[in-house]
Structure 1
Amino acid sequence: MASRQIALKNLSVQYLGFEDWVLKEITVFAPVGAKIGLVGPSKGGRSTLLNLFAGIIPKIIPAKIKGKVTLGDNDYRDLAPELRKTTGVVLQDSASQLSGLADSVYDELAFALVNRGLDPLTIQDRVAAVASQFDLEDYLEQAPTALSGGQMQRLAIASALALNPQFLLLDDPTSQMDPVGRQHFFSWLKQQKDQTVFIASGEVDDLAEVCDQIWVLEAGRLAASGTPQAVFNQLKDDPLVAKPTSLELAKRLKIKRPDGSYPVTASELKEAAGK
């Protein structure tokens, strides 16, 4: 699995009834098992790309699609029904993707597992595991609607993870979390080894720490792709893309790495400053 690639080849997307293309001739590759951070200005195309991967486009949101998305040697659209079973999705509005049928946080976490026909013991074990991972153990008997925005985001993430997905699609998953919750989430994400993750977020400091690749989307086009180190150095003068704090500080202090590039993470900055 690790040797396979996800490939976008001249991918373009146009919503039906609209003249403009929201994604424009995107060609980029990523290995299966990588964590890819999607950054860029608002309406740059990040959510559209995630909705396409999730099958929301064109199944729910009609759109014209040109180009290809492939997984290994297979066209993504041919694999879509099977991939949906192994893909976890967390949308910007986490409340909207909850079942609306669960009386408690426990029931919400178990909802998709029950629908999959898993046995009660497996359901109990998985719910306990994800509740522990996302600090929801004290809220299992509460109604989902009683949770705060950040807690509801944690519930949406935990619900997606309960299915043990191979692919995880996260659209601004920490927007309502407090700093402690956000730090906990990105620490968890950094340790994940079993999923391919696409995460759209404005938290560039955290993305630089945890992601294998950064894709920059501006006005529907791919402005840059590569390692966080390479991309954020390449785009250091782009006013539309937020830069890691460590990079900005390194620029002000004129601290560079041995290869002449600027540090983009706190650990890189500390190492470069000590030399």
Structure 2
Amino acid sequence: MDIIMECKNVDYSYPLTTEPAIKHLNLQIERGKFYGVIGENGSGKTTLCALLRGFAPSFYKGEVKGEVLVEGKNINEYGGELSQKIGFVFQNPFTQISGVKDTVFEEVAYGLENFGVPVEEIERRVIEVMKMTNIESLAEKNPFELSGGQMQRVALASVIVLEPDILIIDEPTSQLDPEGTESVFAIIKAMKDKQKTIILVEHKIDLIAEYADDVLVLKDGELIAVGDKNEILTDITLMEKGVALPQVVLLAVKLQKAGLPLTKIPVTEKQAIEMIGQAMKEKRG
């Protein structure tokens, strides 16, 4: 097992609060895996992202107990080089856009400029990333004149161009329509195919079921479940704790109760078609 990030007995409290926002967190993140983070509102998902990115307590202040390690080294020891290891995509793309560049091309290149990357290398990497994120046609547009979906793709491109090993993404589709959501997840899938380590907070549970390898479940600041998506997302008891489950899981459970001989509960539409079809054949004999 290749552990790229680890949390050891971590508690985190925001300034002027009496209760920790994250409690007793022990977590190992494997290199190259895609983790979906779920839980009801206020469960600590965004705070977890802040901890794993090093924003808490460096930006949000407050108090941390325990250790957050990146490749075996305390996250606080990295300094500015951390942004080359960990890319962070905010929920609201307006937060990601620098505001100091007039074109999308310049915006995507901005981080590389700050790291002193040679001009030829910047141009090559920006063009490559713009192709991958399908924003080539936006190259000369002002970043603040784009639609929400376009702006989110630019935000993703500005992070991906730095070639971090780890991507932490906090609800990137919360303000997007289905078309915008699909375009963003196409980019995330491309990163998964490149074996990047991805930690994604997302309320659209069917997308977590489709793309994630493992699922982390938070409630009241505590990690209450972690494991393979097929195990976690079929645990009906999680609904009692405010956790949404995929629609196909709920359908399969109802069919099981109605007498359909399902040996496993599907979590994706593709799995459902295969498993339910097979169970119906068996029932017909």
Same fold, TM-score > 0.5, yes or no: yes
- Residues in 1 aligned to 2:13 and 2:158: alpha-carbon distance in whole angstroms: 31
**Alignment partner, residue 282 of structure 2:** none
Residues 1:143 and 2:142 aligned together:
yes
- Residues in 2 aligned to 1:256 and 1:85: alpha-carbon distance in whole angstroms: 50
| Matched-pair contact (CA < 8 Å) for 2:83–2:164 | no
- Residues in 1 aligned to 2:106 and 2:78: alpha-carbon distance in whole angstroms: 30
From 234, 247, 250, the equivalent of 2:249 is 247
* C-alpha deviation, 1:28, in angstroms: 2.3
- Residues in 2 aligned to 1:224 and 1:237: alpha-carbon distance in whole angstroms: 9
- Residues in 2 aligned to 1:238 and 1:209: alpha-carbon distance in whole angstroms: 19
| Matched-pair contact (CA < 8 Å) for 2:152–2:184 | no
- Residues in 2 aligned to 1:68 and 1:224: alpha-carbon distance in whole angstroms: 20
Distance 1:237 1:83, change over 3 A: closer
When structure 1 is superposed on structure 2, of 51-60 and 230-239 the one drifting more is 230-239
Larger Rg: 2
- Residues in 2 aligned to 1:40 and 1:256: alpha-carbon distance in whole angstroms: 30
Gaps of 5+ in 2: 279-285
- Residues in 2 aligned to 1:140 and 1:243: alpha-carbon distance in whole angstroms: 39
- Residues in 2 aligned to 1:107 and 1:237: alpha-carbon distance in whole angstroms: 45
Q: Percent identity?
A: 31
When structure 1 is superposed on structure 2, of 35-44 and 247-256 the one drifting more is 247-256
**Alignment partner, residue 77 of structure 1:** 76
| Matched-pair contact (CA < 8 Å) for 1:216–1:224 | yes
| Matched-pair contact (CA < 8 Å) for 1:171–1:200 | yes
Distance 1:256 1:26, change over 3 A: farther
| Matched-pair contact (CA < 8 Å) for 1:11–1:67 | yes
Distance 1:81 1:128, change over 3 A: closer
State the TM-score, normalizing by the size of structure 1: 0.92
Distance 1:37 1:108, change over 3 A: same
**Alignment partner, residue 52 of structure 1:** 51
* C-alpha deviation, 1:54, in angstroms: 1.5
More helix by share: 2
| Matched-pair contact (CA < 8 Å) for 2:36–2:214 | yes
**Alignment partner, residue 265 of structure 1:** 268
Matches within 5 A, 1:67-146: 67-79=66-78, 81-146=80-145
RMSD across aligned positions (CA): 1.9
Distance 1:272 1:42, change over 3 A: same
- Residues in 2 aligned to 1:4 and 1:60: alpha-carbon distance in whole angstroms: 26
- Give 2:67's aligned amino acid: K
| Matched-pair contact (CA < 8 Å) for 1:235–1:241 | no
Matches within 5 A, 1:1-275: 3-79=2-78, 81-191=80-190, 192=192, 193-239=194-240, 240-254=242-256, 257-258=262-263, 261-275=264-278
Deviations 1:122-162 (A, max 9, x none): 21222222222222111111111101122111111111001
When structure 1 is superposed on structure 2, of 239-248 and 68-77 the one drifting more is 68-77
State the TM-score, normalizing by the size of structure 2: 0.89
- Residues in 1 aligned to 2:116 and 2:11: alpha-carbon distance in whole angstroms: 38
Deviations 1:93-142 (A, max 9, x none): 22122111000111101111111122222212222222222221111111
Gaps of 5+ in 1: none
| Matched-pair contact (CA < 8 Å) for 2:172–2:184 | no
